[in-house]
Amino acid sequence: MLGRTLSHYRIEEKLGEGGMGVVYRAWDERLNRPVALKVLHSAAPDETRARQVLKHEATALLRLSHPRVGTLLDFDHAEGVDFIVMEYVEGATLERQLTKGPLSQHEAIAIAIQVAEAIEEAHEHGVIHRDLKPGNVMVTSKGQVKVLDFGLAKLTKSPLGTGTTTWLSQSGGDGARLLGTLPYMAPEQILSGTADARSDIFSFGVMLYEMVTGVRPFGGDTAISVGHAILNDPVVPPGKRGAVLEAPLERLILRCLEKDPARRYASASLLLRDLRGLSHPREIRPRRTATMRWILTASAVALVAATFVLVFHADVGDFLHGLTTRRGSLRSVAVLPLANLSGDPQQEFFADGMTDAVICQLARLGALRVISRTSVMRY
């Protein structure tokens, strides 16, 4: 196909290959822009079925218009070849990124939020992806995510809803067929071929687990052993795989990976809500044992108590008398933000509270001007 022109699209480079199609980078000679062409695989065992899948993907993408989903530009036939045209996304797949090792919690959450936004968009328009995996997630150099390949998507007659208990299960049609990529398939997909919104959430959980640990939650040397693990084996918590992450994210991942669909997130909207709650920037440290956390907390409390005794139970007049200059008495003071020396980010509120308390107490002295906290925070 390289060098050929289909309609007004000149094929320049092969980007990837799947079971039924090959994706190329092509040049749109009418609009002078790069595009991605998905062409039917010449070796597809069932050409009629392959054409149906390609048209099916185009139909699914027509329902969606979202910055986290690859945009469909055209569906055409030329020189005996069926193909779809999509926006060209420059970057690398998440699968390729993970060959370098696991991501940090901050990186994983940033990508996960964007993938969840794409899932939410799809589910709200009655589209179940059914093949979520790192190879179908493109990440640009700026960290922007595009979810691709809706060839196996399940289309429903109505939106799947975003409430806590609203979903629409797949039944009939493809029910007897095993659709998807086995290591990322939900138990119900393996058992009966059925899938609903919660099946995508399970696949999402497998991806997120792999992002933070570098390995999949369910392994095996054969397809049978992988399927058995998904159906029967308990999930090893990511922290026990060496992942450095906080407990709320671990709980979120484990909830996505529940074998019983009723115990997972009921909708992508609820999943996205919790992910966004974890997205605040913060330094992630290895989790400590309960004993160590108790020691650190007790130390911080003792430090706070001692500081209060020193500052507020001392003779404030003597304290200020020592803060004089050669030009006269001290007339203003700035309280710099106190540092958290415990090494535990969860104790930050102690330092913040102490800073506010000192400022408030000094401000009660009418003869002293106390600089506001906002003005001194940059120091």
List residues with catalytic annotation.
Answer: 131
Q: How far apart are CA 123 and CA 112, in angstroms?
A: 16
Burial class (CB in 10 A: 0-12, 13-18, 19+), 154: buried
With DSSP H G I counted as helix, E B as strand and the rest as coil, what are the percentages for the chain, rounded to 5? 40, 15, 40
Q: How far apart are CA 66 and CA 85, in angstroms?
A: 17
Interstrand relation of 21-28 and 137-139 (parallel, antiparallel or unpaired): unpaired
Confirm if 64 and 127 have CB atoms less than 8 A apart.
yes
Give exposure, 2-18, as e/b (b: 16+ Cβ within 10 Å): eeeebbebbbeeebeeb
Which among 87, 27, 18, 12 has a CA at the least distance from the CA of 50?
A: 18
Token pair 């390289």: residue: 2
SS (HEC) of 249-286: HHHHHHHHCCCCHHHCCCCHHHHHHHHHHCCCCCCCCC
Report CA-CA distances (Å) from 41 to 19, 22, 27, 127.
7, 6, 20, 24
Cα Rg of the chain, angstroms: 28
Q: How far apart are CA 338 and CA 139, in angstroms?
A: 39
Q: How far apart are CA 354 and CA 359, in angstroms?
A: 9
